[in-house]
Each structure stands twice: as structure tokens, then as C-alpha cells.
């Protein structure tokens, strides 16, 4: 992508986001704070629709290279946007998600692999979507964390191994920059909404799986390690407290830091971004990880993160209902 075209692309995305703000304001697509929220002001919801638009705009500019994936992205973004406007049933959302993931797998040729790999892939993609969606609770965290992941993938694609069309990576990064301009601030202009968190999770999962299939290196899954640790340990402690893990809550570690410890939202976001960036740099600069090494790394990291949470939050906070 040439520099002039890059600026034109960025300008168009800014214009589209501003147009969406006017539409959202007119049709009352806004987020009202409640007892689970980490914010206190009414804010436009669904600003993350720019992620899907950015990918689609790239497709129009560079050709529909990933037709099945784009179809899945449209489906999962559509149901998520509808859910942002008016809550939909869980079964309907799950159906759309499964169809979208099936299309993603067809795009990548996952069905040519042994059956159990497809099953593990479904668990990974659905888990990634839910983890990123659950973690979307404070200013900057979705856009900032996704930006770290996408920049890492772009670096690998350019300097280590070519695994995808670079223009699509850049298009998504530009969309993230536009969103972060309005969200990565003390008083956010907009929130990602389900359409944003779900779509960017779907996009990241697509690129990550492309990279893993190309390199046969499962170690790249660690590019989502910080989010995974927060999500998995939160589920673990909620199960110990005999809570319904499918009910909405604000038990994540990042929520504890922002709400109970009163850390500024952007400070928590930067902390998560910095830790994940260090992990990514480490993964990029070491030999490919075997599946066994990946599993052992995950187990060690989970226990370490549980220990960190017990020390910082205290057993009483984590274990008592």
C-alpha cells in the first residue's frame, strides 16, 4: 500500500466512523451505565463496526481474496450489531457464530486436517470471540490490545514469513487506529460494542490460524495469552464461588484494577498492552514451540496468574461468594 493511498484509506475510515456516530446518535444506539459497568456516562455503542468496514473496504480495494471468510465476518458482525441495538437470543447468536466459524474454516482448508483439529479449532475461535468480548469493559482495552496483536502479525508477515495479504493487515490496523482515536481516552467518544469486540476477535482468529497453518507453530496462540489468562482464571474463581459463569459480571482482574483499585482505565489498558507486547516479542524471537511446550507454558502461566491474583486481590475477594 503506497503512502498516499494509506492516508486516503485512513481519511475515508475517519469519515465513515463520524457518519456512524451521527446515525447512532439519531437512532439511540448508546450504552447506558449499569451496576456492571466500569464507566459512568452515556456513550455511543458500536463504534467497533469500523473493524468490519475496514476489512470490507480493503476487499473492495484489493479484491475479494477471502470470500468465505468475508461472508462469515458479515454474518457474525450483523448478528452482533443487532444484539447491540436489541438483545437477541443466545441460540440465535450461537447459530450465527457457528456458521461464521464454519465458513472461516472452509476458507483456511481446516477440514482437510484430522477431525480433532477442526474441533480444537472451533473451541479456539469461539473461545477467542467470547474472551475478547468479555474483556471489552474499559476504555482503550479492546482497540489497544488488538492493535498490539495486529502489529505483531504484520511484522511477522513482512519480515519473517509471508502468510497473508499484507494489505488486509494494514487495513485492519488503520481501522483500529481510527477507533482508538475515539475510544483510547479518559472520556471515550464511543465503545466497540459487541459488533466491534466480536468482529475484531473473528478477524484476529482468522489471521492467527492462517499463520499457524502456514508455519505449523502453535506457539503463536500465545499472542492472546494475557486475555486468555484473565478469562480462564476468572472462570476458575467463579466456579469455586459456585456462580453461574454464563451470567454477566465484573469479576475480571482488569475490572478489579479499574474499579476496586481505582487505577485509571488507560493505565490498566497500557499495562495489558505492554505485557502482551513483551510476550509477543519473546515468541517472535524464539524457536517454534511444540504443542507440548505450549501446553506446559499455558499451565505454568495459569498457575502464576492465579497466584498473582490471590496476592493482589486476596483470597477473601476471590473465593467468597
The SS3 of residue 67 is helix
pLDDT band at 174 (very low <50, low <70, confident <90, very high): very high
Non-local (6+) Cβ contacts of 299 within 8 A are none
**pLDDT tens digits, residue range 34-82?**
545 454 567 899 999 999 999 999 888 877 889 999 999 999 999 999 9
pLDDT band at 1 (very low <50, low <70, confident <90, very high): low
Q: Which of 149, 139, 137 is nearest to 202 (CA)?
A: 149
Which cell goes with 34?
A: 449499569
How many CB atoms within 10 Å of residue 299? Answer: 10
Q: What is the pTM of this model?
A: 0.94
> C-alpha 189: how far from its chain's center?
19
Round to whole Å and give the CA distance between 67 and 216: 24
Non-local (6+) Cβ contacts of 179 within 8 A are 17, 47, 48, 50, 51, 143, 190, 192, 196
Give per-residue burial for 254-269: e unless 16+ CB within 10 Å, then b: bbbbbbeeebebbebb
**pLDDT tens digits, residue range 231-282?**
999 999 999 998 888 787 889 999 999 999 999 999 999 999 999 999 999 9
Amino acid at each position: 500500500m503506497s503512502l498516499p493511498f494509506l492516508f486516503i484509506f485512513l481519511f475515508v475510515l475517519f469519515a465513515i466512523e463520524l457518519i456512524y456516530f451521527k446515525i447512532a446518535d439519531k437512532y439511540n444506539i448508546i450504552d447506558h451505565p449499569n451496576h456492571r459497568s466500569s464507566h459512568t456516562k452515556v456513550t455511543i455503542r458500536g463504534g467497533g463496526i469500523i473493524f468490519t468496514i475496514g476489512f470490507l473496504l480493503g476487499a473492495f480495494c484489493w479484491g475479494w481474496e477471502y470470500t468465505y471468510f468475508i461472508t462469515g465476518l458479515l454474518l457474525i458482525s450483523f448478528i452482533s450489531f443487532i444484539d447491540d441495538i436489541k438483545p437477541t437470543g443466545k441460540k440465535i447468536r450461537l447459530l450465527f457464530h457457528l456458521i461464521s466459524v464454519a465458513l472461516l474454516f472452509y476458507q483456511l482448508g481446516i477440514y482437510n486436517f484430522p477431525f480433532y483439529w477442526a474441533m480444537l479449532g472451533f473451541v479456539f475461535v469461539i473461545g477467542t470471540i467470547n474472551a475478547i468480548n468479555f474483556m471489552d469493559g474499559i476504555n482503550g482495552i479492546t482497540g489497544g490490545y488488538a492493535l498490539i496483536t495486529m502489529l505483531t502479525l504484520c511484522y511477522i508477515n513482512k519480515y519473517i514469513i509471508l502468510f497473508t495479504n499484507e494489505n488486509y493487515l494494514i487495513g485492519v490496523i488503520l481501522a483500529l487506529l481510527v477507533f482508538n482515536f475515539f475510544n483510547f481516552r479518559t472520556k471515550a467518544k464511543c465503545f466497540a460494542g459487541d459488533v466491534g469486540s466480536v468482529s475484531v476477535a473473528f478477524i484476529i482468529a482468522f489471521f492467527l490460524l492462517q499463520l499457524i497453518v502456514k508455519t505449523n507453530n502453535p506457539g503463536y496462540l500465545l499472542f492472546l495469552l494475557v486475555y486468555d489468562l484473565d478469562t480462564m482464571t476468572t472462570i476458575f474463581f467463579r466456579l469455586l464461588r459456585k456462580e453461574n459463569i454464563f451470567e454477566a459480571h465484573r469479576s475480571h482482574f482488569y475490572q478489579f484494577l479499574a474499579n476496586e483499585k481505582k487505577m485509571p482505565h488507560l493505565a490498566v489498558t497500557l499495562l495489558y498492552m505492554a505485557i502482551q507486547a513483551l510476550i509477543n516479542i519473546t515468541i517472535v524471537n524464539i524457536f517454534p514451540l511444540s504443542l507440548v511446550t505450549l501446553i506446559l507454558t499455558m499451565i505454568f502461566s495459569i498457575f502464576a496468574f492465579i497466584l498473582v491474583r490471590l496476592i493482589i486481590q486476596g483470597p477473601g475477594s476471590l473465593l467468597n461468594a
